[in-house]
Structure 1
Amino acid sequence: AREHGRKSISMRFCYKYQYFKICHTKGHNFLSYVFAKYAAKWGLMPTVEFNDIAEEAIQRDASLIAKHKHVLVKGWCVRFYDLFIKHKAEIIDLFSFDAPILKKTRDFMGEKADDELRLGVHIRRGDYKTWHNGKYYFEDADYQNYILQFQSLFPNKKITAYICSNDPMLDKESYKKHLKGIRVVISQGGQEDDLCLLSECEYLIGAPSTFTLVAAMYHDLPLYWIEKKDEALSLNSFDKFNHLFQNIR
């Protein structure tokens, strides 16, 4: 939309996930959501669905948007990688956290010590138990192994590991027990607090997920996606947002 001088709203942020600047910008309200949803449902507004990841299909669907004054865009394959990077600064600004959330997070983390290094760890469970046959579902011991490997990369630093998870049965005590010499902090907030907390760390580790990817986006943090439970970790294992984002498939 920005590339072609069109105005746009994100329907999900008209009524849900009310944690970001975009939710308070012009047009982002529940009335806009209802209007767009039912206008499309009743055939008063055309819908363009991005359901094919092939580049030619994406460009074909994009051309349909330009033919209409108002159009509803949907689908998992809206993937304009280059344009996202081009407009990333504006996107980061639009999705900046509301001040109370950011303050709450920074108060929770406290002042950083000179010799402290903050590692954010996202333990994704839930749907990952079955998604892709559990390919990225890892046990506590696997995450703990990577945290200890991370510690070994910085022998002169005091590591604080901030643990965020969607697993209500997470064995929190096992992390404090097995991560010797590491200060372990378990997140106590909701998903918005977890995302903000991860974004305020210095390094990130987690299973492949857009949750950690978005967290890394805010301050261009080094991120390591665990794809196998027994890989050796090095500083070269970490990557930045632009590369990871442009290679999502």
Structure 2
Amino acid sequence: MLRRQALSLEWVGDLINTSINYLFSRFEMFFGFSPILNAPRPSVILQMVGGWNFRCHHLTAKYRQELSASYRLTIGSLSTPEQHRLAELAALQTVHTRLVGIHVRRGDYLDWMGGRYFYDDAVYQRIIQEIRDCFAAEGMQCIVAVCTNDTISSYLGQDYSTGGSWVFDQLLLQSCDLIVGPPSTFSLWASYVSSTPYIHIENATQSFNLSSAQICPG
């Protein structure tokens, strides 16, 4: 049912897109200028785009500041207890103490891409220990906060587990000094909005390497 509705909406969108392009092209052919820019142009194409698979990285990079300002979540979106928990975690961050957010993506990842990025607890336990060892070698401590869209069956070596809303998890990741987890738009968005470095775990045997951290450009 939902698939038929989606296909129907896609067909309507294509029809609207084609109709608008036709009207604007006929207008410009008759009057000799674009009704959009109000200036002479050899041709005009208005393309309506959208959908999960649409990407335009150079524009999201170019307008990063504007997009971040428009879509950034605020602490006012959290409940009072969640606001207090976020403030408590932020207070732990110092020059020598880093807050690391671990995104344990489960749920739909059991089936997505054949479960390629659905890692068991042992993988996260190893990664968290490697993170601690890496920061210790730099003379720093780290507070590890785990957020997930599923339940955690065992202790992973974390200092804190969220168990809150997705809004809280997103704001927590944005508040961290580093984000670590499997490839996911959830962690990418947190990096993009807050300029927080992230490291994606591409496979279950990957070792933690701090030098691979990067900020999502768009």
TM-score by length of 2: 0.72
- Does the residue aligned with 1:161 lie in a helix, a strand or coil? strand
CA distance in 1 between partners of 2:45 and 2:90 (Å):
52
Q: Is the 8 A contact 1:40 1:47 kept in 2?
A: no
Instruction: Provide the residue aligned with 1:94 in structure 2.
Output: 70
Greater mean deviation of Cα atoms: 110-119 or 157-166: 110-119
Q: Describe the shift of the 1:87–1:140 C-alpha distance in structure 2 as closer, same or farther (beyond 3 A).
A: same
**CA distance 1:99–1:130, change in 2 (3 Å):** closer
Q: What amino acid is aligned across from residue 152 of structure 2 in structure 1?
A: L
SS at structure 1 position matched to 2:142: strand
Matched residues in 2 for 1:40 and 1:174: separation? 45
8 A contact 1:203–1:223 mirrored in 2: yes
Percent pairwise identity: 25
Aligned with 1:107 (options 87, 94, 108): 87
Query: Pairwise mapping of residues 193-212 of structure 1 onto structure 2 (< 5 A)?
Result: 193-212=168-187
2:201 aligned with 1:218: no
The answer as to whether partners of 2:68 and 2:193 remain within 8 angstroms in 1 is yes
User: What residue number does 1:144 align with?
Assistant: 125
Matched, 1:235 2:210: yes
Aligned twin of 1:10:
none
Residue 116 of structure 1 and its aligned partner are, at CA, apart by 1.6
Aligned to 1:118: 99
How many angstroms apart in 2 are the aligned matches of 1:215 and 1:94? 14
Contact residue 216 and residue 240 of structure 1 kept, 8 A: yes
Partner of 1:33: none
Residue 159 (1) aligns with residue 117 (2): no
Q: Distance in 2 between matches of 1:42 and 1:216?
A: 35
Question: How far did residue 107 of structure 1 move?
Answer: 2.4
Report the counterpart of residue 46 of structure 1 in structure 2: 16
Query: In the TM superposition, what is the alpha-carbon distance from 1:101 to its structure 2 partner?
Result: 3.2
**Superposed CA offset, 1:27-86 (max 9, x none):** xxxxxxxxxxx999878x7148xxxxxxxxxxxxxxxxx656xx8643233211111100
Q: Which amino acid aligns with 1:170?
A: I
Tell me the distance in 2 between the aligned counterparts of 1:119 and 1:131. Answer: 26
Opposite residue 201 of structure 2, the aligned amino acid is I
SS at match of 1:74: coil
**CA shift for structure 1 position 147:** 1.0
What code does the residue aligned with 1:203 have? L
Larger radius of gyration: 2
TM-score (norm 1): 0.63
1:83 correspondence with 2:59: yes
Structure 2 residue identity aligned to 1:109? L
Number of the residue aligned with 1:24? none
- Show the 5 A alignment for 1:35-74: 46-47=16-17, 67=45, 73-74=49-50
Indicate conservation of the 8 Å contact 2:148/2:163, yes or no: no
Q: Letter of the aligned partner of 1:82 in structure 2? A: H
Q: Report the alpha carbon displacement of residue 221 of structure 1 after superposing the two structures with TM.
A: 1.6
- Corresponding residue of 2:36: none
